[in-house]
Amino acid sequence: MHDLQAERRTALAVRVWRTLLGVALLIWLTDLATKIWAVHYLSHRGAIKIIGSLFQLNFIRNSGAAFSFAPGATLLLSFFGIAVLIAIVYYAPSLTSKGWAVVLGLVMGGVLGNLTDRIFREPGLLRGHVIDWMQLPHWPIFNLADTAIVVAAFISVVLTARNIPPINKEELI
């Protein structure tokens, strides 16, 4: 009986890691590809209306966070992103469901997407500006990495409302 429980926990851990890393990789690569596209096709143009003023493509290089928050704090935001990645890797083995693995995969992919910009784009290491290119009315211009993080927040609310705990507290002891 004990071996069966251990086997189930191991199988869940494998599924959780596979889901988390698969989602993170998909988001990271898709975000990177769309940012390369945006730099190539949008960086020298004005806003392009897709659905009137409801949805536009509008290229910016963002040195801060959303809503023009902390425009000079790129280095701090980079270290915060690294801390989030470390926390995800630390807590992932204790996840209780594939749903929470998807949540952390979305967050990890989003953080990796924006952190990649902060590491490799101008003006320099851990101070690079994030490429944002999608715009909705009364909302900051954003990218797919940002979208993944917002979707993760929504899913976490749904999982919490359904009483699905994110971690197994016994495994943390």
- Using CA atoms, how far residue 52 sits from 44, 57, 60, 125, 137, in Å, is 20, 11, 19, 37, 10
Which of 1, 6, 30, 4 has its CA nearest to residue 144?
A: 30
126, 78 Cβ separation under 8 angstroms: yes
| Catalytic residue from among 3, 31, 117, 132 | 132
Tokens of residue 42, six digits: 């949008």
The question of whether 117 is a catalytic residue gets the answer no
Residues 6+ apart with CB under 8 A from 88: 20, 104, 107, 108
The question of whether 31 is a catalytic residue gets the answer no
Could you list the beta-strand ranges (E) of 47-136: 48-51, 55-62, 130-135
Q: How far is residue 32's CA from residue 40's CA, in Å, rounded to a whole number?
A: 12
| Catalytic residue from among 3, 31, 117, 146 | 146
Q: Catalytic residue numbers? A: 132, 146
